Amino acid sequence: MPVTLSHFGEDIVHAMACKMGKGFLALCPGFTEEKVAQAVAIKEAPLESYADIPFDGASRVDMVLLLEGNRGVPFEIKLGSTRLSRTRISDEWLCGCKQSGHRPSRWTGNMMSILDRRFPPGTPEGPLRANYAKGTENQTVELTKEWFVIAREEKTETLRRNPPDFRASLISFESIVRAYEGSGIQGQAFNALVRDLLDIDFYQTWIIGRAE
């Protein structure tokens, strides 16, 4: 099976964000005056309880860019070539959050609905928070109401012409790559980053590591 961008897309975006820091934030409309925290970016950040109700275990933010003051900008990363459409976003991913029928109850719903704060009427409003490991301790970050979808340029251009009704802004993956490469030789910096990400001992990691 060929290796595609969707297999490693989140890791690649995260690596570029960590290296770019303030430069990555410059791609996010509305945050040009913000300061990036030293840790820069975290990925797969689990959500903390909202209105005293926890989320199901699958509720994780693809990436959070950390700002000063324990705040963070959330990103959904959708780099597939077929599934991202206005209809799918509006009818399926933005259909809202609800409480599960289990006891204790949990919030369920697509991450887009969660980041867009689509909770049932009457739900007490409050900050949406995620957590992440910092050394041996867990840290909490408050997520901004503004959030971003990172997708391929073809998809972002289509969605900008007919945008879904959500709070998110769109950033093309290609624009991040262009900013990451800067004025150097086209493709050189990006290719080097991907090679570094894939430069692991696959046998040690997948075979021996699995057996231990």
- Taking only the tens place, the pLDDT of each residue in 36-50 is 887 889 999 999 999
Q: C-alpha angle 144/147/150, rounded to 5°?
A: 150
* Phi, psi dihedral angles at 124 (to 5 degrees): -60, 130
Residues 6 or more apart whose Cβ sits within 8 Å of residue 85: none
Query: What is the rounded average pLDDT of the residues 179-193?
Result: 86
Looking from the CA of 157 toward its CB, the CA atoms found within 13 Å total 5
Residues 6 or more apart whose Cβ sits within 8 Å of residue 5: 12, 79, 173
- Taking only the tens place, the pLDDT of each residue in 83-109 is 788 999 999 999 999 998 777 889 999
At position 44, the amino acid (one-letter code) is: E
Strands 169-172 and 148-151: parallel
Averaging pLDDT over each range in 2-16, 19-33, 161-175, which range is the top one?
Answer: 161-175
Query: What is the rounded average pLDDT of the residues 147-161?
Result: 95
Residues 6 or more apart whose Cβ sits within 8 Å of residue 207: none
Q: What is the pTM of this model?
A: 0.89
Cis peptide before 164 (omega within 30 of 0): no
Where b means 16+ CB within 10 Å and e means fewer, 60-76 reads: ebbbbbbbeeebbbbbb
Residues 6 or more apart whose Cβ sits within 8 Å of residue 94: 110, 112, 113, 116, 118, 164, 165, 166
Give CA separation, 31 vs 68, 71, 81, in Å.
12, 12, 28
